[in-house]
Amino acid sequence: MIERGEVANSWRRERWDSFRLLTPNWQSRLPGLRYEGPRPDGYMTTKEVTQFIERFAALCRAPVRTGTDVTSVRRTGDGYHVTTSRGELRCRAVVIASGACNRPAVPAFGDAVPPSVGQLTPFDYRAPDRLPDGGVLVVGASATGVQLAAELRASGRPVTLSVGEHVRLPRTYRGRDVLWWMDSSGVWDQRYDEVDDLARARRLPSPQLVGTPERRTLDLNALTSMGVELVGRWAAVRDGRALFSGGLRNVFSLADLKMERLLGTFDEWARTRGRDAEAGPPERFAPTRVPESARLQLDLRGGETRTIVWATGFRPDYGWLDVPVLDEKGRLRHDGGVVDSPGLYALGLPVLRRRRSTFISGIEADAREVIDHLARYLAGRR
C-alpha cells in the first residue's frame, strides 16, 4: 500500500475544525473493527476518525509506505510500472483507492471574481475566525455547503447560500437516525447494476445532513430561520456581478418530492416487515420555504461580500495515471471497480458496487468482491 502522507492523511489535513462524520458511530465499521464507545448514536470528529483508521491499520498489519507520492502508473507487457517519489515498482495488478474527492471542483468563472473578494474551498476553510470580516457567499447546498453556511452565520456574519440541485433529508425519522432507515431498509444495499441511471446516481450530491450531539436537522428551512439568504444556482460573473438562476421554487419542490418518496419507501418497508411498532408514527415535513424575492444578482465589488466559499463538490485527480482508462470528463471507466484495463481496479468511488460505497461501512463488501475478481485474474494468468 502506498500513501502520499500519513495513515488517514486526508482526515488529518483536509477537514475543517468542527467537521464530524455524517454517519452515526455505530455505522463506523471495518473488517474486524467497529465502534464500541459510549456514544453509538454520536458522530465522530476528525480526530476520532483518524484514530479509528489508525487502529484498523495496526489491526490488519498491512504494509503501508507512507510519505510516498505516486507520479506515474503505466501499462507494461506483464502488468504495470509504478513510479513513486521513493523509487520504482513493478506489479501484475494495481488497486486505485485514492478516492473521488482529491480536488475541489470550482467553476471556471471563478477566475472572473474581483480580486478584492477572497476565495476558499473546503480544503482551505478551517473556522469562521480565519476569514476576513464581512459577508460570505457559500456556493453549493449539499452537506458541506449547508454546514459551513450554518457555522458562518452562527458566528454573526451575513451569509448568502447559492442553491442548486440538492438532496434533502431529516436527521432523524420516526425516532431513529435517517441513516438507520437507509441501512435497515436495504436502500443502501442497492447494487450498481440495479440502478436505472447509474451515471446520475454517481453524480448525486451528498445529502443535507450534519452530525451534531443533539442530532438536529439542517435543511434550507433551518438555514432561513437562522437568517441565511438563499439565492439560485450561480450561473456566471458579468462586470463584477454574480448572476444567479431563477426557479428556486422548482428546485425546492423536486428535492421535497424526492425526500417524501424516500420516506414513503421507509414506511412501506416497516409496514411489510412488521417493524412499525419499533418506531414512532410516520412523519411528514413542511415544504422548503421559497424566498419572497430571491436576488438574481450580487455586486461583488460593493463590499457586501468579502469571501466566497466554493462548496461545489470534488473531482478525482488521475494526473499520475498514464493508462487510457478515463472518459471525456476525466472519470475512470470501470464496471463495479473493474477498470477498463486488465489487472487495474478501483475502490472508494460513488456507487462503486452499492449505494453505500463511499461510506466507511460500505467499503468491506465492495472490497471483497473486487479483490475476488483480482484473485481470479491473477490465478488465470498463472
* pLDDT in 10s for each residue of the chain, 382 residues: 999 888 888 888 889 999 999 999 999 999 999 999 999 999 999 999 999 999 999 998 888 899 999 999 999 988 999 999 999 999 999 999 998 888 899 999 999 999 999 999 999 999 999 999 999 999 999 999 999 999 999 999 999 999 999 999 999 999 999 999 999 999 999 999 999 999 999 999 999 999 999 999 999 999 999 999 999 999 999 999 999 999 999 999 999 999 999 999 999 999 999 999 989 899 999 999 999 999 999 999 999 999 999 999 999 999 999 999 999 989 999 999 999 999 999 999 999 999 999 999 899 999 999 999 999 999 987 6
pLDDT value for 212: 94
- Side-chain-side CA neighbours of 111 within 13 Å: the count stands at 1
User: For residues 341 and 374, what is the distance between their CA atoms, to the nearest angstrom?
Assistant: 12
pLDDT value for 33: 94
Buried b (16+ CB within 10 A) or exposed e, 17-39: eebbbbbbbbbbbbeeeebeeee
User: For residues 156 and 118, what is the distance between their CA atoms, to the nearest angstrom?
Assistant: 18
Tell me which long-range contacts 198-205 makes (C-beta under 8 A, separation of at least 24).
Answer: 198/351, 201/350, 201/351, 201/355, 202/349, 202/350, 202/351, 203/350, 204/167, 204/350, 205/140, 205/141, 205/142, 205/143, 205/165, 205/166, 205/167, 205/313
Contact assessment for residue 37 and residue 55, using Cβ atoms and an 8 Å cutoff: no
Q: Which residues contact 21 (CB under 8 A, 6 or more apart)?
A: 28, 43, 44, 49, 211, 360
User: How far from 329 is each of 110, 233, 326, CA to CA, in Å?
Assistant: 19, 21, 8
pLDDT value for 70: 96
pLDDT value for 258: 97
Single out the residue of 190, 182, 101, 112 nearest to residue 144, CA to CA: 101
pLDDT value for 102: 85
Using left for φ > 0, alpha for ψ between -120 and 50, and beta otherwise, residue 83 falls in: beta
pLDDT value for 382: 65
User: For residues 279 and 254, what is the distance between their CA atoms, to the nearest angstrom?
Assistant: 27
Q: Which residues contact 325 (CB under 8 A, 6 or more apart)?
A: 332, 333, 334, 339, 340, 341, 344
User: Can you say how many angstroms the Cα of residue 67 is from the centroid of all Cα atoms in its chain?
Assistant: 25
Task: Give 126: exposed, middle or buried? Use CB within 10 Å, 0-12, 13-18, 19+.
Answer: middle
CA torsion through residues 332, 336, 339, 340, sign: negative
Beta-bridge mates of residue 236: 243
User: How far from 35 is each of 51, 115, 129, 210, 357, CA to CA, in Å?
Assistant: 11, 46, 33, 19, 19
What would the grid cell of residue 255 be? 428535492
Length of the chain: 382
- 8-state DSSP, 211: -
Contact assessment for residue 86 and residue 336, using Cβ atoms and an 8 Å cutoff: no
pLDDT value for 310: 98
Model-wide pTM > 0.85 = yes
3 state SS of 226 = helix
Single out the residue of 314, 288, 296 nearest to residue 162, CA to CA: 296
3 state SS of 277 = helix
Q: What are phi and psi of 130, to 5 degrees?
A: -90, -5
